Amino acid sequence: MLITPAFPHELPRALQHMLARERQDNTPATLPRRSFLKLMGVGAAGSGGLALGLFNGDAQAADAAAPADLKPTEQPAAFVQIAPTGEVTVTINRLEFGQGVQTALPMILAEELDADWAKVRSQHGNSNPAYVDPRIGLHITGGSNSIKNSFSQYRELGARARAMLLAAAAARLNMDVSTLRTQAGQVIAADGRQLGYGELAEAAMAQPVPAKVTLKDPKDFRLIGKPTSRLDAKAKSSGQQSFGIDMHLPGQLTAVVAHPPVFGAKLKSLDDSAARAVRGVKAVLRIPADRGGEAVAVIADGYWPAKQGREALKLDWDTTAVEKVDSARQLAQYRALADKPGARKYDADMAALASAPKKIKAEFVFPYLAHAPMEPLNCTVQIGDAGAQLWVGSQFPGVDGMAAAKVLGLKPEQVQMHVQMAGGGFGRRAVPTSDYVVEACQIAKAAQTAGLNVPIRMVWSREDDIQGGYYRPMHLHRAHIGFDAKGKVLAWDHVLVGQSITSGTAFEGFMIKDGIDNTAVEGLREPYPLPMRLTVHHPKVNVPVLWWRSVGSTHTAFVMETLIDEIARATKQDPVAYRMALFGDKHARHRAALQLAVDQSGYGKKRLPAGHAWGVAVHESFETVVAYVVEASIKKGQPVLHRATAGVHCNLAVNPRTIEAQVQGAALMGLGMCLPGAAITLKDGVVEQRNFDGYTVARIGDMPQIAVHIVPSAEPPTGMGEPGLPPLAPAFANAIAKLTGKPLRELPFKLA
């Protein structure tokens, strides 16, 4: 079965379709080299060292005995280390930032390797070409691609390593390899003799790497499909886990940055005398800032003196040349724009709308959202005689490494990227501009010029993070729907207004077609057979925007699933039955996920307490379908979510425990969109929220009782990091609408 590859940075559908059109031969698709060079901003003159530049000095070399037609991504030497003790270390080709790939990917490899799971460990890769996404050809963690795109890869890596261990054992025992078997880190001969992987490892790595291997029958899996505790659980739960922000190198200094209050603003004047007088401050440096602005970096021997130094700065900013966005004025502008002709995604005939017996007119408003990971952005840079090293929790180490090389005036191969554990990201650590990595490199370069030839760790504060830009875009939706008494939609006229995430970036050529950014419209219409006319406007606004967990589905799922529910209520139909009827004989995965959630929740059978109501929603994103059946009420004028039951269809579940955790986390994040204060707003160009006291994120006390159920499947895995988020808010909203009789049209919820 061909799994269509998705694009990096949580940009799934449009590039999938593009690649699918270009490759119809069932071979894994990769980004063409010319497109990659264009994406990275590397011209023909600078491309000669590109491949070498992706190697790092600390990365393992490709196996010299590997067949010439095996790619670096297919060779075990870069992925498997076996110590004499038999301990197996698996290198992962993704960033671990909470999603569980540091366990799931080793599980896949260890399954085919027949390793002793008790002896399996994991570590991050770097920008070695072995660690690119094997289907895309870029170093990325995003788009819920990690397991989906590396499932076959890691199985084959494990099988190749196992074959090499068997060959080494056969040579040592002077036996035919067909008489040997493996189990739990041992090669076992027919006569009972055993050789541990640790004692065979050196000889095994000298064996030829087999080009083709036979993989296990899924019925023989020992690890895949079994709920497995995470390899990093102990370190994280005991406070021993180190993250990028914890980097400490000899002689290291820490930098904090005073960013312009309005995006792109420049400095009129700077008085840094008081800052330089702060004990521990080593330098105050003006640096270029993101989007053409300027900033001031304060470098000190620790975070606290650097922060104190920043607070002592006297700054006068020039904001005359940049747009000063005001949220109230922006909404009025969006409403005016929605009345104008625009680009068309779908263009069904709307003639039936005028005479439709039933109609709905609806406007939806969605605010900017910050990513707000628990670990704020950070990056440590060390410039040496031979090049530079970066320690950073990056979702895109290849792109960030290229950006660092450009800033530092180095060749790509002179930059080493050390991927660090990250404390969340949700897309913020995958930026086309590499904004915070570029900023760290600008500081390190300026520090070196000032005579500070030491590692520089740049750290953002929580306030920097909340006010630092690259938000989920603000969106306005309008829908005018005509339908009959049986709920058949006769015409659906839809308008969407919101910034393009990819406009002005290297991704524009891939993601924008006929003036429409496909990240904005993904999830609209599908899977329902609706005659839709979809008009899209992408205004230019001086607010940096970026993908946010589940990207376009954060708003399109809410619009679609609340409107579908509203049609069901208007025609007095059960919302589950209505959706099932719309699916017809198609969309078996949607049907299975929804039915599982219904069955497990007791929907339609269990009597709810007085004042409680059911809510339902189902949505596909990243090739995975998630359905929620929720129970909610209203207490003291505020919506309360009591229970949520999820039905998940992600094909084969590699680690059900990780999937459960992913859905739980995504559900809480989706719930957070509904809570009062979950919005980024601007006044005179300045972001009004600064910290968690002004910007609401869901906390553990908001978490409902939640049960996650997975539809059994043996098909290759699909994406799982993001699909649990989109349907939670509309399911919650649908329950509240049943209680109040009024649909919710805005996030966060407003009942008045």
Average pLDDT in the 480-494 region? 98
Is residue 247 within 8 Å of residue 391, measured between CB atoms? yes
Is residue 414 within 8 Å of residue 387, measured between CB atoms? yes
Q: Which spans in 349-396 are helix H?
A: none
How is the beta sheet containing 186-188 ordered, strand by strand? 181-183, 186-188, 194-196
State how far the Cα of 349 lies from the Cα of 353, in Å rounded to an integer: 9
State how far the Cα of 373 lies from the Cα of 695, in Å rounded to an integer: 13
Query: How high is the pLDDT of residue 1?
Result: 25
Collapsing DSSP to helix, strand or coil, 147 comes out as helix
Residues in CB range of 255: below 8 A, 6 or more apart? 297, 298, 299, 300, 306, 440, 443, 447, 456, 457, 458, 459
Binning the chain into helix, strand and coil, the percentages to the nearest 5 are 35, 25, 45
Angle between the N-to-C axes of helices 435-449 and 397-408, in degrees from 0 to 180, rounded to the nearest 10: 30
Question: Which among 366, 746, 702, 751 is positioned nearest to 554, based on CA atoms?
Answer: 366
- Is residue 725 over pLDDT 80? yes
Largest CA distance in the chain: 85
Query: How high is the pLDDT of residue 18?
Result: 40
- In angstroms, the Cα distances linking 556 to 113, 523, 550, 657 are 42, 6, 10, 28
Give me the chain's average pLDDT, please: 92
- Tokens of residue 306, six digits: 């650097």
Question: Which among 79, 110, 123, 100 is positioned nearest to 197, based on CA atoms?
Answer: 110
Residues in CB range of 67: below 8 A, 6 or more apart? 208, 209, 211
Question: Which among 503, 231, 546 is positioned nearest to 377, based on CA atoms?
Answer: 546
- Is residue 28 over pLDDT 50? no
- Is residue 308 over pLDDT 50? yes
Is residue 423 within 8 Å of residue 99, measured between CB atoms? no
Query: How high is the pLDDT of residue 510?
Result: 87
Average pLDDT in the 312-340 region? 98
State how far the Cα of 405 lies from the Cα of 132, in Å rounded to an integer: 19
Query: How high is the pLDDT of residue 752?
Result: 76
Average pLDDT in the 617-637 region? 98
Instruction: Work out the pLDDT band at 21, boundaries 50, 70, 90.
Output: very low
- Tokens of residue 359, six digits: 């109609």
- Is residue 274 over pLDDT 70? yes
pTM: 0.91
State how far the Cα of 661 lies from the Cα of 621, in Å rounded to an integer: 18
Instruction: Work out the pLDDT band at 35, boundaries 50, 70, 90.
Output: very low
Question: Which among 312, 257, 246 is positioned nearest to 290, based on CA atoms?
Answer: 257
State how far the Cα of 294 lies from the Cα of 447, in Å rounded to an integer: 16
Query: How high is the pLDDT of residue 69?
Result: 87
- Is residue 12 over pLDDT 80? no
Query: How high is the pLDDT of residue 39?
Result: 42
Residues in CB range of 120: below 8 A, 6 or more apart? 87, 88, 89, 90, 106, 110, 231
Asked which of 33-42, 262-271, 571-580 is least confident by mean pLDDT, the reply is 33-42
Cα angle vertex 90, ends 3, 390, to 5°?
Answer: 95
Instruction: Work out the pLDDT band at 63, boundaries 50, 70, 90.
Output: low
pLDDT in tens, 178-194: 999 999 999 999 999 99
Average pLDDT in the 705-725 region? 97
Query: How high is the pLDDT of residue 255?
Result: 98
pLDDT in tens, 67-116: 778 999 999 999 999 999 999 999 999 999 999 999 999 999 999 999 99
Query: How high is the pLDDT of residue 66?
Result: 75
Q: Which spans in 522-574 are helix H?
A: 553-570
Residue 80 backbone zone (phi > 0: left; psi -120 to 50: alpha; other: beta): beta
- Is residue 44 over pLDDT 90? no
